[in-house]
């Protein structure tokens, strides 16, 4: 069902500081930067081989990532698995009895399609499925 780990999502308070850490000190190239208004985040994607680190800065306190930061502070936010067929992957996890946050795929960055599984059914790990733009 999953071909690879697509990215690891990291919630940050100060995006410039986090970009400096990952790009300058950890030497990961910045590949993409995008604001996703409907998800309330500004995202910076850095390359790690074929995978990525996805830095997430909330656009406000009353957003999913804003509430996460309020509760847990900066740090690891989610793991995203790549799939070539997000509808089939969603059908599989639904059939396996896992709780979904997104019943249908929604728009992600770089014209990808994404869907989240609820962390209560994945051992506390917020889990994302990603189908890259073709």
Residue 8 or 21 with smaller CB distance to Co ion: 8
Q: Tell the smallest beta-carbon distance from residue 57 to Co ion (Å).
A: 13
Which single residue brings its beta carbon nearest to Co ion? 9
Q: Are strands 75-82 and 51-58 parallel, antiparallel or unpaired?
A: unpaired
Residue 128 or 131 with smaller CB distance to Co ion: 128
Residue 30 or 97 with smaller CB distance to Co ion: 30
Reduced to 3 DSSP states, what percent helix, strand and coil does the chain have, rounded to the nearest 5?
Answer: 30, 40, 30
Q: Tell the smallest beta-carbon distance from residue 128 to Co ion (Å).
A: 5
Q: Tell the smallest beta-carbon distance from residue 59 to Co ion (Å).
A: 16
Give the contacts of 52 (CB within 8 A, at least 6 positions apart). 6, 7, 8, 31, 45, 46
| C-alpha distances in Å from residue 99, one per residue of 67, 96, 127 | 20, 9, 11
Residue in this structure with the two tokens 């590949």, named with its chain if needed? 31
Interface contacts to Co ion, rule CB under 5 A: 9, 54, 80, 128
Q: Tell the smallest beta-carbon distance from residue 108 to Co ion (Å).
A: 7
Beta bridge partners of 68: none
């Amino acid at each position: 069902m999953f071909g690879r780990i697509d990215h690891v999502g990291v919630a940050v308070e100060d995006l410039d500081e986090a970009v400096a850490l990952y790009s300058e000190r950890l030497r990961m190239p910045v590949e993409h930067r995008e604001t996703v208004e409907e998800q309330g985040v500004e995202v910076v994607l850095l390359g790690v081989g074929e995978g990525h680190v996805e830095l997430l800065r909330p656009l406000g306190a009353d957003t999913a990532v804003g509430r996460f930061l309020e509760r847990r502070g900066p740090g690891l936010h989610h793991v995203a698995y790549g799939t070539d067929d997000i509808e089939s992957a969603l059908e599989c996890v639904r059939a396996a009895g896992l709780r979904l946050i997104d019943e249908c795929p929604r728009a992600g960055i770089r014209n990808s399609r994404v869907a989240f599984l609820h962390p209560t059914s994945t051992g506390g790990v917020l889990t994302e499925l990603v189908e890259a733009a073709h």
